[in-house]
Amino acid sequence: MSTVESAFDLSESQWYLNRELTWLSFNRRVLHEAADERTPLLERLKFIAIVSANLDEFFMKRIGGLKQQIGAGMREPSLDGRTPRQQVTECYEVVRELEVAKEELFRAVGVLLEEKNIIIEQYEQLTSKERKLLREHYYNNIFPLLTPQSIDPAHPFPFISNLSLNLLVTLRYPKARETSLARVKVPVGLGTPRFLRVGKGDHFVRVEDVMMNNLDMLFPGMEILKCEFFRVTRNANTEKVEEEADDLMAMIESELKERKFAPIVRLEVEQGMDRVHRGRLAAELELDEGSDVFDVQGMLAMRDLWELVRLEYPRLHDSPHHPIDHPLLQTQRNMFHIIREAGSILLQHPYESFSTSVERFLRESALDPKVRGIKMTLYRTSVKSRIIDSLVLAAQNGKQVAVVVELKARFDEAANIRLAERMEEAGIHVTYGVVGLKTHCKVIMVVRQDYNGLRRYVHIGTGNYHADTARIYSDVGMLTCDETVGQDVTELFNYLTTGFMAKRNYNKLAPAPRFLKKALLSRIERETAIQIAQGNGHIQFKINALEDGDIVRALYRASIAGVKIDLVVRDTCRLRPGIPGLSENIRVISIVGRFLEHARIYYFRNGGDEEYFIASADAMKRNLEARVEVLCPVEQIELTRELRMIFDTHIADQRSAWDMLPDGSYIQRVPQDDGNAAGSHRVMIARTAKRLKESLKQKKKKVKTKR
């Protein structure tokens, strides 16, 4: 283990940025896409909706967790020296800035949409005929769903569901002096849209505006004095102890019920709400009115803007992208023969089709009479999943099928419970992983009777087995019949289905929590030693988040020794680049664009004997120490060439790349000319298409040569 003398005390908090604040900084970059005039108009609206949904999740998960720490009396500072209370206070300040910027952008984009005749109308501006038609629609399609609830001493304060939009109605009997309050939930979802179409064009009115202006149906004979809007966000963290659970599925189902009633962590109210009402809501919901209440100028719950984003205006969207088939998978030949001939195949989603690669792999496995068994991990997938259909079909065809389902995949628990039940009914052996650890690795193993005995065919990926996200997340995966990888994957599944860890040997894979972190740290240290001995040390990571303190410290030591380090980090990053003497050899780049960067790729120059790895894990403490993850080497030269191209494309990006400064802020790169104005995603789309074209040319040449 190499040592590097340093004038810097790496235990000092000043060298580490805050996890939550750097994640919020990522959302600033996402929101910038909504401000960027180069982004098509409805895509700009999409980024506003994404940031809104992200902030909802931030409060449910991160603020919820910090509040639990505060409630438990925890004062221990984080790696960056902040207590839980300090983190909440600073996060609130940033969130309020983000909300203001988001609202201003929404107004600006709304003006531009009006020029395209896409308008969110104000109810009072509608014609009498339009109001009449809306009233009829409301009476027939929305009114039966409403349940007004009184708020007074005779009635307990009503339960307010998570992320629900609500009307707070002030009313009284005619000629009476005393007023009453009532709450009405806006029934968005399950067939009720947030935006109701007015007339024949793309003019809309918000459903809550229609409700507000037709309250006489709900409260006949009453005098409506005021109608105000509010919304709550609940903590998504629960505290069930898995080790004490007799039935994990029952425990998760219980957690879901608890989450429904979990403490509220945020109250959003429309700006200008009556001060007494604002204070009363905060008190009833057990919130601090001064800090936990957020005044929103304009529209609440902007995540619902997705309804408008889906409008079909080709010129207001990014140009259509259709994933292509991988060049080796364009034939109808038996897929196992193709993999065996190639050795390994690198897949790049969404540039290459998930359907004709991963889904095809499972479909052919289900139908191939020589396939004996299928084993798979499942973290997230779509409800109407071809993946599940293929697994069920395989079981029906008499194959041994085992699936490790992660029931604790946040916000997918209910869907995963339903899928697990469906698979068990089909005769699939379903297990839920290792007690105390989330199963986050993405692995499929197919055991097939080949001409020379049983052979294992494996898929290892960086992204979930989810057809929908495979179209918008940038991920990589590898199909391989490498014998050693197959043996390691067998060991991994035996561990996942039994929990027995002792004496499991892995020759190529490095699973977490036992080996992956050690593998990364040892290679960073090796690169440091090589740099000291001979120079030319080089490390590159492409990850979603860099949060683990041990990894950050190791990278600092490598930089001090002179190792060149390129970190392509999508969001959270604790490391501060560009500090003279400490991290001047490190640059941190964030790519934000059309697709969500999700691939995890690790590179070490290793004195010229280069090593490339793909992984399910980010450099985060939870991934490395509390999850089952996999780090897998990519060895074939044609595959490493593709991974090199991914790194080079991101590092050279002059359109979608942001450079991190030592203080944790970011500056977006500006193209010097039109020649380099294309971002990484456009470059990758073009490059994948070009590779396919060249492959087709080669095939035609081979056909002509044979003739």
Least Cα distance to 128 among 213, 53, 234 occurs for 213
Q: Rounded to an integer, what is the distance from CA 672 to the centroid of its chain? A: 32
Among the listed residues 32, 203, 349, 440, the single catalytic one is 440
Tokens (6 digits) for 398 = 């008499």
Contact 434, 496 (CB under 8 A): yes
Contact by Cβ (8 Å): 99, 297? no
In angstroms, the CA 576 to CA 586 distance is: 9
What string of H, E and C letters represents the secondary structure of 671-707?
CCCHHHCCCHHHHHHHHHHHHHHHHHHHHHHHHHHHC
Which neighbouring-strand residues pair with 444? 376, 459
Q: Which tokens sit at 413?
A: 């628990």
Distance (Å, rounded) from C-alpha 163 to C-alpha 56?
Answer: 8
CA distance linking residue 549 with residue 261, whole number of Å: 35
Cβ atoms 491, 504 nearer than 8 A:
yes
Token couple for 647: 């790194």
C-alpha to C-alpha distance for 37 and 302, rounded to whole angstroms: 20
Cα atoms found within 13 Å of the Cα of residue 303, Cβ hemisphere only: 14
Query: Which residue reads 């720490």 in tokens?
Result: 69
Number of Cβ atoms within 10 Å of the Cβ of 282: 19
HSE-CB for 102 with a 13 A CA cutoff: 31
Chain length of the chain: 707
Nearest residue to 226 (alpha-carbon basis) of 264, 262, 179, 193: 179
- CA-to-CA separations, 170 to 13, 151, 521, in angstroms, rounded: 51, 10, 61
Using DSSP's 3-state secondary structure scheme, residue 186 falls into coil
DSSP of 271-312, one letter per residue?
TT--HHHHHHHHHHTT--TTTTEEEESS-S-GGGGHHHHTS-
538 belongs to the catalytic site: no
Cα atoms in the Cβ-side hemisphere of radius 13 Å centred on 349:
28
Asked whether the beta carbons of 586 and 578 are under 8 A apart, the reply is: yes
Please, which residues have CB within 8 angstroms of residue 363's CB and are 6 or more apart in sequence? 386, 390, 393
Name the residue among 67, 45, 58, 52 with its Cα closest to residue 114: 45
- Contact in structure between 567 and 591 (CB atoms under 8 Å): no
Q: Is 321 helix (H, G, I), strand (E, B) or coil?
A: coil
Give the integer Cα–Cα distance in Å for 618 and 614: 10
141-170 burial string, b = 16+ CB within 10 Å, else e?
ebeeebeebebeeeeeebebebbbbbbbbb
Active site residues: 440
